[in-house]
Amino acid sequence: MPKAIRKLPLPIVVFGLTLILICAGARFFIIESFIQLEKREMQRNVDRAVRLISEDIDHLNTLCSDYSGWDDAYKFVQDRNNKFIVDNLSPETFAKLRLSVLSYYDFQGAPVYEGAYDLDHGIGAKFPASLREHLVHTQTLTNFAAPSDNRFGILNLPEGVLLVVAKPVITSSYKGPIKGTLVMGRFLSPKTVARIADNLKLPLKIVAIDNKPQSEEFAQVRQLLAAGQKLALKTDQSGQIYGYTMLAGLSGEPALILRVDAHRSIYHEGEKSVAYFLGWIIICGGMVTGIFAWSVRRLADSHKETERSEERHRLVVERTDQGILLVDPGTHIVLDANPAFCLLVGQSLQDLVGTSAFTFINGDKSSIDETIERAKHEKRELSLIHRDGTKLVSEISITSIPTETGTADCYMFHDISMQRRFQDELLHQATHDQLTGLPNRSLLNDRMVQAITGARRRGDLVALLLIDLDHFKVVNDTMGHATGDMLLKSVANRLLSFVRSSDTLARFGGDEFVILLTCISNMSDIITVAENFSGLLAIPFVIQDRDYFMTASVGIAVFPDDGDSIDVLVKKADTAMYNAKELGRNGFQFFAEEMNLKMNSRLRVETQMRRALERNEMQLHYQPKLDIRSGTINGLEALIRWHNDSLGMVSPAEFIPIAEASGLIVQIGEWVLETACKQTLIWHNMGHASLRVSVNISTRQFVRPEFVDRIADIIEKCGLPAQFVDLEITESALTHNISETITILQRLKAMGVTISIDDFGTGYSSLNYLKRFPIDTLKIDKSFVDDVVERTEDAAIVATIIAMAHHMNLNVVAEGVETLEQLDLLKKGGCEEIQGYLFCKPQTAEGLTDFLESFRRKGCTLLKYKNR
């Protein structure tokens, strides 16, 4: 079988073979029926030919009756008168009656008249000797017993096949006695055969059966017909069909074979019909086969695709990380499960099938039932229990799917434990402080909303305690951030142990913490908490084997008295906390309306200050510094003054912190430096060429990246040599970032300016960084000088500062010297310079010019007095 056919699907091959069989069968039966039709047609034609020959015999019979039952003929056979012959038996009569022979015989059988005519050529002919022989010897045609007797048939003569009729000669009234015999005959000559064929409308051939050798065709046919067949048929290549039949002679012997020729039109029609039929069958069959093959292929393809799709679905179900469980909807019995679900619950498929799905689901039956019902419409969360007891958070959705027996519920589980943990983590990160793990501002806001809502409902109080650690920055700056972080964590833990579980402890950032107290029934409860809090920090924090003593300033705002919104409460607690700081730190303050007024006043100051410089409201005063060893004024400090129309005279102690907080200090500070430098240059030009001017630098100025460049620009612009400029910087500004500070100071020193540490002793005063800073002078804070005479501790501090400064080759200036006793003590202690009301109060530029001039003229009366 060819490979292409072998590749075809079996149904197509079977269908094709069936089609071929149908075609072959159809061809056979149709052709066969046409052959039979053809045979019947030929039979009819042959019968017609035989009938036409019979009709010729009948014609002869009629003629013979006319010429035998005729008184003239009756008389002629008796008297043999020639007239009868002349009148009735002329050649025209032969031609007209189409007679080949006509003969009369007397009653003894002796010929009376024998005439013959060649019908083919239309001339008289010789009477056939074989016929005479036959008539005389056999007398079968002349020997009649009754007037009605007759003989007719075919005579096979050597001269040809003769149709012959014989009747007794009787009177015209057909009565005897018989006086003779009339014989009439007609040869089946070519013309006669042609005439019959003409009537037949088909070619006709007649072959006499005699002893002469016959053609193979007729020999075969004769054999067939001799065997009793009425009709024999033959066909040839030229599309002709030949019908043969055999006719018997007078005495019953085979006389002739008659052949009718016909075109095989029926057969060819049959063939054409078969061709059409098969053509259609093949076309239709081909189309049907094609469609069938196409359908089969489509069916096969779709079957394969279905198989592949099913395989894919099977693999998806097997390999998906979604747990899939098929459950009986009525009983919740597990019908099937995929590997992912088995993994989720740590069970084998065998263990799962047949058990209740509820076995692996955490929760009570009614809640599981409810979740399952809802999961049919939307995704729900469900907790699964693993074989080892762990619980997994999963998302479940349920769809109903058809099965062979009805429907099943398809539970789809998506393990979201990791996602949930991640979300929890994210949520925790978003709502908690990373360092301490405490709630951050965002979570505190939520808790406050809840707390205020609850308090509103219950009618009780909520207290917000804003805690700011005192001087924490110093620890951070000096001990490093790592230590600072550890300290913050320790503080957080201690605070945590302090608050109730219903309260919230949060970290606001930096060193600020918030305690939110809920369910408070009266103010005294809050006071108790605040007082206890102070004791909480009394015990030192031990970080890396070092003790840290911490205090905190606490501001308290209370709902509903101080406000009913989070922002207001936080703001008021903040204000209260600042107040606590201002009141010396290490304490708590409830918010009071005065504080608010103070804040508002700060705001008013800030608003006015913004336009102060352009309105020329700022002015500089100068306070000289006296070298108590030489009695000369070698420096002065520029101190800002501000007079505003609406605020009046505003102290720098009041507006400088506000300028620092608002950032305006940068602009103000630069104006101070420029004005001071320009004024100092004027005094230089007046002959006070050794004067150095000290300018206060605030932290906000110092930490700006462009600080050094701005100082250099201003000094250069003013034209005062840099060595006559001294920058007073507070300890806290310097300790902001130690390494950065060192770089800045080195750059300033490189320019030629000198550096003084202002308010020395009030900060952390660490020798550790002091020795690393390139500074020139320590200014002992006024607070130590104030009580240096009365308090031995302060005297000791001052002495220590002076000794330390000298040890480090630093100059010492004592500020705020108001009495001769203070001066005396400082001088004895080795202090080089003083600044204070005792010597000179801050003066306007003009005032100080006068003072300098007078000083130049009179010298220092103060020292003279002292020296006396």
Nearer to ligand LFPHGCPZ, 394 or 696 (CB): 696
339 belongs to the binding site for ligand LFPHGCPZ (CB under 6 A): no
Name residues whose C-beta falls within 8 Å of residue 197's C-beta, 6 or more positions apart in sequence. Answer: 49, 203, 204
What are the two backbone dihedrals, phi and then psi, of residue 479, each rounded to the nearest 5 degrees?
-100, -5
680 belongs to the binding site for ligand LFPHGCPZ (CB under 6 A): no
How many angstroms separate the CA atoms of 18 and 24, rounded?
A: 10
User: Residue 860 CB, nearest distance to ligand LFPHGCPZ (Å)?
Assistant: 16
3-state secondary structure 487-530: HHHHHHHHHHHHCCCCCEEEEEECCEEEEEEEEECCHHHHHHHH
651 belongs to the binding site for ligand LFPHGCPZ (CB under 6 A): yes
Q: Give the range of 218-226, 382-390, 801-809, 832-840 binding ligand LFPHGCPZ by CB under 6 A.
A: 832-840
The residue among 470, 479, 473 whose CA lies nearest residue 769 is 479
CB 806 within 8 A of CB 841: no
Site string for ligand LFPHGCPZ, 628-647 (x = CB under 6 A): ---------xxxx-------
**DSSP codes of every residue in 16-72:** HHHHHHHHHHHHHHHHHHHHHHHHHHHHHHHHHHHHHHHHHHHHHHHHHHHHHB-HH
Site string for ligand LFPHGCPZ, 354-393 (x = CB under 6 A): ----------------------------------------
Q: Give the range of 139-147, 389-397, 429-437, 651-659 binding ligand LFPHGCPZ by CB under 6 A.
A: 651-659
Q: Which residue has the tokens 């800002």?
A: 640
| 3-state SS, residue 690 | coil
How many angstroms separate the CA atoms of 572 and 560, rounded?
A: 12
Q: Give the range of 133-141, 346-354, 731-739, 833-841 binding ligand LFPHGCPZ by CB under 6 A.
A: 833-841
User: Residue 445 CB, nearest distance to ligand LFPHGCPZ (Å)?
Assistant: 36
Looking at 409, 503, 815, 832, which residue binds ligand LFPHGCPZ (CB under 6 A)?
A: 815
Q: Which helix (H) or strand (E) covers residue 189, if one does?
A: none
623 belongs to the binding site for ligand LFPHGCPZ (CB under 6 A): yes
731 belongs to the binding site for ligand LFPHGCPZ (CB under 6 A): no
User: Residue 685 CB, nearest distance to ligand LFPHGCPZ (Å)?
Assistant: 23
Angle, in degrees to the nearest 10, between helices 441-458 and 566-582:
110
User: Residue 511 CB, nearest distance to ligand LFPHGCPZ (Å)?
Assistant: 24
How many angstroms separate the CA atoms of 570 and 562, rounded?
A: 10
Nearer to ligand LFPHGCPZ, 730 or 741 (CB): 730
CB 598 within 8 A of CB 622: no
Question: What do you get for the CA distance between the two ends of the chain, in Å?
Answer: 146
Looking at 443, 666, 672, 845, which residue binds ligand LFPHGCPZ (CB under 6 A)?
A: 672
64 belongs to the binding site for ligand LFPHGCPZ (CB under 6 A): no
H-only helix segments in 172-236 = 190-200, 216-226
User: Residue 545 CB, nearest distance to ligand LFPHGCPZ (Å)?
Assistant: 37
Q: Which two tokens stand for residue 246?
A: 């055999």
Nearer to ligand LFPHGCPZ, 231 or 697 (CB): 697
CA atoms within 13 A on the CB side of 689: 2
The residue among 309, 338, 315 whose CA lies nearest residue 325 is 338
Q: Which residue has the tokens 């990791």?
A: 418
Nearer to ligand LFPHGCPZ, 176 or 652 (CB): 652
The residue among 432, 329, 320 whose CA lies nearest residue 375 is 329
User: Residue 781 CB, nearest distance to ligand LFPHGCPZ (Å)?
Assistant: 7
698 belongs to the binding site for ligand LFPHGCPZ (CB under 6 A): yes
254 belongs to the binding site for ligand LFPHGCPZ (CB under 6 A): no
Q: Which two tokens stand for residue 489?
A: 């964590």
CB 523 within 8 A of CB 532: no
Contacts to ligand LFPHGCPZ from residues 773-802, by CB under 6 A:
782
Nearer to ligand LFPHGCPZ, 372 or 640 (CB): 640
726 belongs to the binding site for ligand LFPHGCPZ (CB under 6 A): no
| 3-state SS, residue 772 | coil
Q: Which helix (H) or strand (E) covers residue 666, if one does?
A: helix 665-685
689 belongs to the binding site for ligand LFPHGCPZ (CB under 6 A): no
User: Residue 482 CB, nearest distance to ligand LFPHGCPZ (Å)?
Assistant: 32
818 belongs to the binding site for ligand LFPHGCPZ (CB under 6 A): yes
User: Residue 660 CB, nearest distance to ligand LFPHGCPZ (Å)?
Assistant: 8
How many angstroms separate the CA atoms of 46 and 258, rounded?
A: 8
CB 324 within 8 A of CB 410: yes
CB 543 within 8 A of CB 576: no
Question: What type of residue is 812?
Answer: V
User: Residue 696 CB, nearest distance to ligand LFPHGCPZ (Å)?
Assistant: 3
Give the pairing of strands 111-118 and 123-124: antiparallel
Q: Which helix (H) or strand (E) covers residue 409, if one does?
A: strand 406-415
837 belongs to the binding site for ligand LFPHGCPZ (CB under 6 A): yes
Nearer to ligand LFPHGCPZ, 223 or 651 (CB): 651
User: Residue 729 CB, nearest distance to ligand LFPHGCPZ (Å)?
Assistant: 10
What are the two backbone dihedrals, phi and then psi, of residue 476, each rounded to the nearest 5 degrees?
-60, -45
Q: Give the range of 111-119, 246-254, 768-776, 834-842 binding ligand LFPHGCPZ by CB under 6 A.
A: 834-842
842 belongs to the binding site for ligand LFPHGCPZ (CB under 6 A): yes
User: Residue 814 CB, nearest distance to ligand LFPHGCPZ (Å)?
Assistant: 10
Site string for ligand LFPHGCPZ, 388-427 (x = CB under 6 A): ----------------------------------------
Nearer to ligand LFPHGCPZ, 380 or 782 (CB): 782
CA atoms within 13 A on the CB side of 736: 16
User: Residue 621 CB, nearest distance to ligand LFPHGCPZ (Å)?
Assistant: 7
H-only helix segments in 339-480 = 339-345, 349-352, 365-375, 417-431, 441-458, 472-479
User: Residue 676 CB, nearest distance to ligand LFPHGCPZ (Å)?
Assistant: 8
User: Residue 702 CB, nearest distance to ligand LFPHGCPZ (Å)?
Assistant: 10
Q: How many residues touch ligand LFPHGCPZ (CB under 6 A)?
A: 25
Cα angle vertex 835, ends 830, 840, to 5°?
135
Q: Which two tokens stand for residue 370?
A: 């409810």
Contacts to ligand LFPHGCPZ from residues 526-565, by CB under 6 A:
none
CB 49 within 8 A of CB 242: no
Looking at 1, 10, 227, 653, which residue binds ligand LFPHGCPZ (CB under 6 A)?
A: 653
- Interface residues with ligand LFPHGCPZ (CB under 6 A) are 623, 637-640, 651-653, 656, 669, 672, 696, 698, 728, 758-759, 782, 815-818, 835-837, 842
